[in-house]
């Protein structure tokens, strides 16, 4: 039975939101909230008869006022967990601390590499051989919270930014629901040194090498 209320925050098309909704998670999506009135993801949520809300950041004079209004909307839905799914706003320290330990984000790089924006372009420019995505707890420092799960993909010689982004996005849709499932099942814990423990998580069975090593 779904005993956790989840609120999803989006700014755009909401593809990670849709992956979460399709994953049959042991949680109730209490609301989808966007800072963008025209976000395509809102339409997808409405088609599923989910409650939606808009808190337009342009209506507020500063980040603190916007974050306070956003928190009020989240709290109306008694959220146990808040998920950033392509939510393109930098949150204030006060907001992050209010949801500490129950605020997750999906980031399109293998953190701590390439925090911030334009991750795929920067990965290609840096010449890395492996790229990917990360689900992490959100902390005050941007894109540096405790890591829950990561997925890696090879960077191909002829990759474009769009091609690499699409391959990483496929992995985002796999690992974000997994991280949320672990949270809802009570299997995540934070160690004293700031790392994430996962009860009964299977051990990795192989390494990704790119390009493949010769045998």
Cβ atoms of 86 and 13 closer than 8 Å? yes
Closest by CA position to 42, among listed 18, 67, 23, 19? 18
Residue 211, pLDDT score: 83
pLDDT(26) > 60: yes
Encode pLDDT of 123-139 as tens digits.
999 999 999 999 999 99
pLDDT(183) > 60: yes
Give the rounded percent of residues in the chain with a pLDDT score beyond 70. Answer: 99
Distance, in Å, from the CA atom of 179 to the CA atom of 185, rounded to the nearest integer, reads 10
Encode pLDDT of 40-51 as tens digits.
999 999 999 999
Cβ atoms of 35 and 11 closer than 8 Å? yes
Domains of the chain: 5-198 (3.40.50.170)
CB atoms closer than 10 angstroms to residue 67? 22
**Six token digits for residue 211:** 């390009």
136 is catalytic: no
pLDDT(106) > 70: yes
Encode pLDDT of 28-75 as tens digits.
999 999 999 999 999 999 999 999 999 999 999 999 999 999 999 999
Model confidence, pTM: 0.95
- Using alpha carbons, list the distances in angstroms from residue 30 to 33, 48, 75, 87, 161: 10, 12, 10, 17, 35
Distance, in Å, from the CA atom of 93 to the CA atom of 33, rounded to the nearest integer, reads 20
At a CB cut-off of 8 Å and minimum separation 6, what does 1 contact? Answer: 26
Mean of pLDDT over the chain: 95
User: Which member of 57, 77, 80, 107 is catalytic?
Assistant: 107
């Amino acid at each position: 039975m779904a005993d956790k209320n989840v609120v999803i925050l989006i700014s755009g098309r909401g593809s990670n939101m849709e992956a979460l909704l399709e994953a049959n998670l042991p949680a109730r999506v209490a609301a989808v909230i966007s800072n963008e009135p025209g976000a395509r993801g809102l339409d997808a949520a409405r088609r599923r008869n989910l409650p939606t809300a808009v808190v337009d950041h342009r209506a507020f004079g500063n980040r603190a006022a916007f974050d306070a209004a956003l928190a009020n909307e989240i709290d109306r839905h008694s959220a146990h967990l808040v998920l950033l799914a392509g939510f393109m706003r930098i949150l204030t320290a006060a907001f992050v601390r209010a949801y500490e330990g129950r605020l997750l984000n999906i980031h399109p790089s293998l953190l701590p590499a390439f925090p911030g924006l334009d991750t795929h372009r920067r990965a290609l420019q840096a010449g890395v051989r492996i790229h990917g995505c990360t689900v992490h707890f959100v902390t005050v420092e941007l894109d540096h919270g405790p890591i829950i799960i990561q997925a890696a993909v090879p960077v191909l010689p002829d990759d474009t930014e769009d091609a690499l982004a699409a391959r990483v996005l496929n992995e985002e849709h796999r690992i974000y629901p997994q991280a949320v499932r672990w949270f809802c099942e009570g299997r995540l814990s934070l160690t004293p040194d700031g790392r994430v423990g996962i009860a009964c998580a299977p051990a990795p069975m192989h390494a990704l090498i790119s390009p493949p090593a010769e045998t």
